[in-house]
Amino acid sequence: MTKKIIIAIDGFSSTGKSTLAKQLANHLGYIYVDTGAMYRAVAYFAMQHGYISKDFFDKDLLIQSLNSIKLQFKYNQNLAFAEMFLNDENVEQQIRTIEVSSFVSRVAEISEVRAMLVQQQQEMGTESGIVMDGRDIGTVVFPEAELKIFMTASASTRAQRRYEELVSKNPDITFDEVLQNVEERDYIDTHRDDSPLVKADDAVEIDNSYLTISEQFEIVLELVSEII
Ligand code: DC
């Protein structure tokens, strides 16, 4: 029997972390956890309750309400993917909007939010056989992960990918708006005090600006094979 490991995938937004993580999880029969969805669900909760808007954010109210936030991933057979539930409501669509994207980094800066989500993420990994993607998986959540990948690509490449995803649902969206959101999130994610996005010393860096999805998958699968 091959040994089960923890695969940590970190990197900038829209670098295709989740595409790679899902492919690996399906191929290896592992659990996939999208930690960005958890931060997005908390941001969506804050929006729903009026704690955050374009020029207002009541951090204290959000912190006081954290124990009334229940997050669950429920596997959807048809989509072959675990969807995010916030207090028993499927919020998978709602958390992917540009509005949530524009608030989520501010929510992810809060140490109390991070502590709560990191603890839940660590509990999910106790059995190994897990692929988890995010910003701090190899550095904070699973510093002992057997394989750490750090993904990068230029901001314009990432904004183009994201724009193509969003424009089908929202035809009014512009490329510049998406690029601005990507650059803002990069800045906040790399400059926050608590667990900023950094490459772990022992992570393998993959710049996929010029790699196809299958090329990138083959590279990482080779790394996995060497370990297991
Ligand atoms: O991966 P994503 O774009 O869905 O993540 C949404 C936001 O959540 C991102 O701007 C940074 C934050 N995040 C984080 O701080 N730590 C994680 N482990 C995952 C996401």
Domain ranges of the chain: 6-227
Q: Name the stretches of the chain with pLDDT < 70.
A: 1
Which helix (H) or strand (E) covers residue 176, if one does? helix 175-191
Residue 125 to residue 21: CA distance in whole angstroms: 15
Q: What is the pLDDT of residue 153?
A: 94
Q: What is the pLDDT of residue 218?
A: 96
Q: What is the pLDDT of residue 3?
A: 83
Pocket of ligand 1 (CB under 6 A): 13, 35-36, 39-40, 104-105, 108, 134-136, 185, 189
Helices (H), ranges, 29-174: 35-48, 59-65, 98-108, 111-124, 155-167
Q: What is the pLDDT of residue 64?
A: 98
Whether the CA torsion 126, 130, 135, 137 is positive or negative: it is positive
Q: What is the pLDDT of residue 207?
A: 94
Q: What is the pLDDT of residue 40?
A: 97
User: Taking the model in full, what pTM does it have?
Assistant: 0.93
Residue nearest to atom 5 of ligand 1 (CA): 36
Q: What is the pLDDT of residue 1?
A: 61
Ligand 1 site-directed mutation target among 10, 12, 13, 99, most atoms within 8 Å of CB: 13
Q: What's the CATH number for 6-227? A: 3.40.50.300
Give CA separation, 172 vs 46, 144, 208, in Å. 25, 44, 28
Residue 41 to residue 22: CA distance in whole angstroms: 20
Q: How far apart are the first and last CA of the chain?
A: 9
